[in-house]
Amino acid sequence: MRVISGTRKGLPLKAVPGSGTRPTTDKVKESIFNMIGPYFDGGLAVDLFAGSGGLGIESLSRGIDTCIFIEKDPRAIPVIYENLKKCKLEDRAEVYKADATRAIKALEKRQARVDLLFLDPPYEKVGYYELFNQFVEKNLLTDNAIILCEHEKGVDLQEHYGAFTLSRKEIYGSTIISIYRQEEGQGHD
């Protein structure tokens, strides 16, 4: 695993030990960012099931201002910190050991406005995709937000979450990447 592009291109990233997390492969990560970027002009990203932090770190390397990493696996937290330190990105990141539902409440309390949301829960936890609705209902997403869901082939996500519509879907082996964007004129900012 490594940073694919941007200011930290080529830096290696450590994986979380054990099989509790499923790192996004470099090939899939490169494809993801070619679909949603490939580069960003600032903004806030949230990596909701961060694992080793690879997707959030990639977004920081490609121009996102700040990324909030949420992960409840205690083995993953030191790995995220180590990867951020290796990439010299600690000052642009916040890391929280928290359950995703609690994290959303904290984001709502601070009135966060998210530009890029990575929703990549453990594959067996299909219900976690419903958290997308909470981001929409609590007005935590900007009008131009991009939501990226990584899921198993057998999981069918909704076409719409509030004003956000499935804009692209790509299959990589047993993994599907679904990208959501807001339809024109549907914002409420």
Higher pLDDT, 187 or 95: 95
Q: Is 19 inside a domain boundary? A: no
Q: Is 1 inside a domain boundary? A: no
Residue type, 151: H
- Per-residue pLDDT, 154: 83
Which domain, by its residues, includes 50? 26-182
Q: Is 111 inside a domain boundary? A: yes
Higher pLDDT, 187 or 174: 174
Q: Is 4 inside a domain boundary? A: no
Question: Tens of pLDDT along 125-171?
Answer: 767 888 899 999 999 999 999 999 988 888 888 899 989 999 999 99
pLDDT surpassing 70 at residue 187: no
Q: Is 108 inside a domain boundary? A: yes
Question: Tens of pLDDT along 10-44?
Answer: 999 999 887 666 677 888 899 999 999 899 999 99
pLDDT band at 184 (very low <50, low <70, confident <90, very high): low
pLDDT band at 103 (very low <50, low <70, confident <90, very high): very high
64: CATH: 3.40.50.150
- Per-residue pLDDT, 160: 92
Q: Is 187 inside a domain boundary? A: no
Q: Is 105 inside a domain boundary? A: yes
Q: Is 15 inside a domain boundary? A: no
pTM: 0.92
- Per-residue pLDDT, 18: 76
Query: How many distinct structural domains can be found in the chain?
Result: 1
Express as a percent the part of the chain with pLDDT over 70: 94
pLDDT surpassing 50 at residue 181: yes
